[in-house]
Amino acid sequence: MDQFSGDLFEEYRQHFTGGLKRMEQGVVFPRGYQSHAATETCPGHSTILTGSRPSRTGIIANTYFDLSIARDDKAVYCAEDETQPGSSSGDYVASPKHLLVPTLGGRMKKANPATRVVSVAGKDRAAIMMGGPTTDQIWWWGGKSYVSYKGVAETPLVAQVNAGIAKLVAQDRPAMELPDFCKPKDVAVSIGGGKSVGTGHFARIAGDTKAFRASPEQDAATLVLAAALIENMELGKQAQTDIISIGLSATDYVGHTYGTEGAEMCLQLATVDRELGAFFERLDKSGVDYEVVLTADHGGHDLPERNREHGIPDAQRVDAALGPKALSDAIGAKLGLTGQVLYGDGAAGDFYVSKTLTPAQRAKVQAEALAMIRANPQVEVVFTKDQIAATPSPSGPPERWSLIQEARASFYAPRSGDFLVMLKPRVTPIPDPTKGYVATHGSPWDYDRRVPILFWRKGIVPFEQPLGVETVDILPTLAAQIGLAVPKGEIDGRCLDIDASAADSCAAK
Ligand SMILES: [Zn+2]
């Protein structure tokens, strides 16, 4: 569940009655960690089923820069093939090529070619990073319907599901009714420009696919497709173990569009709880024995305007002068250089110095950039590539890591920037909320790193472990359940013993 933070889990778990209640009553790690610094969707999904941090998966960000590529747009989307003619990071051909390590499904298939690997999600990067390159079927929401890689035609089953969704989207959708526990949250918060958030009930006019995407309807559609694929392919009904990864993306779109503490998020979580409950009941009826793990790709927090109303007066939006274009223009003017001298994807994260400059000019640009950024009171720290590279890969409790250790877990030399910027906590890196998203994630702070990790299987003896574990621990934990050997040196995670008794679920089978 995209952006299903540890904080949302803790706030709402008392209200769950459906699928999330089932998960909440299994083996519960309420403080799981996406332990790396760049807490974005693509890196987060890359850790969940690979056992590896972004430093090993190679997925350091949603968008990184490769200044050596031939095309004009030097930004590279994490799940694209940037060598495709005519492509750009915004209009790309989807590909798993940047993921450097195998997924659990890939490892299962290698051990037993009969294993079926299926991946469905509301976003391409979620489906691709969890499924890996060797999926039997992979589908994601393409804006109007569920699609797959270029050249892969819709199957009759997917066509049927897509037709049902198209019919639904083509109708008006009335406002949803608020459950009682959501009613106190139904309060408008002004974001300027005459706009506000907080009181949305997901009313939608016919054909509005953007509103469909940022609503519980999208997760319901993804679950319908997942259930149809499980039944159609008879997953879990043959001798081998099969695997399906399901990326429920709506919580993230709702968080970005409306923030995390309004009526919208409350309705979203109440609805996905119910839809997930119906999905599990459908699986139960099929008689198949299945194990579920539920987690998130990153956390998140609320928009600063509402945070200020809720006891956090220092919540603020980033200074537009910290944006890559503003910095590049200011440095170019100061040093008398023309063209773009600095590249980056927003005011925080990796920055790259132009490669068309001489080595002396590059050094000057970097020195000037570091001085300007470090002088801004919203900046916590800037690390250079050399500093991060010299830091050992972290180990030990993820709640105790230093910022440079988090940066090291996000660092992959061929793709990482010349330096990395971290903003102070509670600084939201969206300068103006009236032009698009109002809230986001991506920071090295725990509100963006903490996610629940929940395991359930019929008959599982529940327990709760509040100490920190990592999402990279999921792959070895599941591999042990099915007796799949994973050499320790190939991954960063460790097997979690999810047997409540003295027996050890990690012991070799
Ligand atoms: Zn995400």
Type of residue numbered 324: P
Ligand 1 centroid – CA 2 distance (Å) = 5
Residue 4 CA to ligand 1 centre (angstroms): 9
The strand pairing partners of 29, in sequence order, are: 453
Ligand 1 center–CA 227 separation, angstroms: 23
Return the pLDDT at 208: 97
Known catalytic membership, residue 41: yes
d(CA 252, ligand 1 centre) in Å: 6
Give the residue-averaged pLDDT of 110-124.
Answer: 98
Angle formed at CA 398 by CA 507 and CA 383, multiple of 5 degrees: 135
CA of 503 to the centre of ligand 1 (A): 35
Determine the residue type at 228.
A
Amino acid in the structure at residue 500: A
Question: pLDDT averaged over the chain?
Answer: 97
Task: Look up residue 301 and give its two tokens.
Answer: 């927090």
From CA 328, how far away is CA 315, in angstroms rounded?
Answer: 27
Supply the pLDDT for residue 509: 61
By the 10 Å C-beta count (0-12 exposed, 13-18 middle, 19+ buried), 11 is classed as middle
Q: How confident is the model at residue 119 (pLDDT cuts 50, 70, 90)?
A: very high
| Active-site residue, selected from the candidate residues 39, 41, 50, 222 | 41
pTM reported for the whole predicted model: 0.98
Tokens representing 82 are 């940037």
Residue 372 in tokens: 């300007």
- 81: buried, middle or exposed (CB in 10 Å: 19+, 13-18, 0-12)? middle
The whole-angstrom separation of Cα 428 and Cα 178 is 28
| H or E element in which residue 276 lies | helix 263-286
The CA-atom distances, in angstroms, between 275 and each of 52, 248, 272, 435 are 30, 11, 5, 32
Distance CA(502)–CA(443), nearest Å, equals 38
Name the 3-class secondary structure at 464: strand
pLDDT in tens, 162-184: 999 999 999 999 999 999 999 99
Helix, strand, coil percentages, rounded to 5, for the chain: 35, 15, 45
Residue 508: the pLDDT is 73
| CA dist., res. 129 & res. 412, Å (int) | 17
What are the structural domains, with CATH classification, of the chain?
A: 6-59+99-313+444-490 (3.40.720.10), 61-98 (no CATH), 319-377+379-423 (3.30.1360.150)
Strand pairing category for 291-294 and 450-457: antiparallel
- Cα of 1 to ligand 1 centre, how many Å? 8
Give yes or no for a contact between 349 and 68, defined as CB atoms under 8 angstroms apart: no
Q: Find the 41 Cα to ligand 1 centroid distance in Å.
A: 3
Q: How far is 147 from 485, CA to CA, in rounded Å?
A: 33
* C-alpha 448 to ligand 1 mean position (Å): 10
Distance CA 199, CA 262 (A): 7
Sheet of 137-141, strands arranged across: 146-147, 137-141, 117-121, 243-247
Kindly report the number of other CB atoms within 10 A of residue 382's CB atom: 17
Angle at which helix 41-48 crosses helix 124-131, to 10 degrees, equals 30
Q: Ligand 1 centroid to 212 CA: how many Å?
A: 17
Question: Up-side HSE of residue 420: CA atoms within 13 Å toward CB?
Answer: 30
- Which residues have C-beta within 8 Å of that of residue 248, sequence separation ≥ 6? 1, 2, 121, 122, 219, 222, 223, 272
298 CA distance to ligand 1 middle (Å): 6
Rounded to the nearest angstrom, the distance between the alpha carbon of 308 and the centre of ligand 1 is: 24
Residue-wise pLDDT tens digits, 319-333? 999 999 999 999 999
Tens of pLDDT, residue by residue over 186-210, are 999 999 999 999 999 999 999 999 9
The DSSP code sequence of 311-348 is T-TT-EEPPGGGSHHHHHHHHHHHHT--S--EEESSSS
pLDDT, residue 422, reads: 98
- The predicted pLDDT at position 90 comes to 96
pLDDT at 71: 94
For ligand 1, the distance from its centroid to the CA atom of residue 121, given in whole angstroms, is 12
Instruction: Give residue-wise pLDDT tens across range 457-499.
Output: 999 999 999 999 999 999 999 999 999 999 989 999 999 999 9
Q: How many CB atoms lie within 10 A of CB 9?
A: 28
How is 295-319 classified by DSSP, letter by letter? --S------HHHHHHTT-TT-EEPP
CB 368 within 8 A of CB 402: no
Distance from the alpha carbon of residue 444 to the mean position of ligand 1, in angstroms: 14
Question: Ligand 1 center to residue 40 CA distance, Å?
Answer: 6
